Amino acid sequence: MSQVVAEKPKTKPIAKKSSSTPLRLWVRAKFLGFRRSKVQQNTNQSILRLEGVNDRSGAQYYFGKRVAYIYKTKSGQKDKRFRTIWGRISRSHGNTGAVLARFNTNLPPRAIGATLRVMLFPQRGWSQHI
């Protein structure tokens, strides 16, 4: 009696593509300050400088994109110490690529100079309301 052994088809193992840098779906932005005049400032409009944007036409791509200011609190449970204030880029400010953003809650003054995240997806059109 001879036993017939069915051979398994040989397949090549799929090699994972290892990228040296992780994929990031957001762009860094610096919070420069609030929109202001000589006498008063509008705290509901924040001026942001986007990384890699140097002119007015380059800033147009980001109109309507969501912006997140992530900060750490001292109070609360350890897993809930990070909080986020969400906003949206509304228009450009000047000719050097700065943009205006409106947030659900106005950004605190201690956030001036902080790094914010501009989310690239999902793509949304510009809207007046946040």
Cβ(66)–Cβ(73) under 8 Å? no
The pLDDT value given to residue 18: 64
pTM of the model: 0.76
Q: Please state the domain extents for the chain.
A: 26-119
Q: How far apart are CA 93 and CA 17, in angstroms?
A: 41
Residue ranges of alpha helices (H) inside 2-130 are 56-59
pLDDT at 19: 64
pLDDT tens, per residue, the chain with 130 residues: 667 666 666 776 766 666 677 788 999 999 999 999 999 999 999 999 999 999 999 999 999 999 999 999 988 788 889 999 999 999 999 999 999 999 999 999 999 999 999 999 876 655 544 4
Q: Considering only CA atoms, which of 111, 118, 109 is closest in space to residue 89?
A: 118
Instruction: Measure the CA–CA gap between 81 and 71, rounded to whole angstroms.
Output: 8
26-119 falls under which CATH superfamily?
translation elongation factor selb, chain A, domain 4 (2.40.10.190)
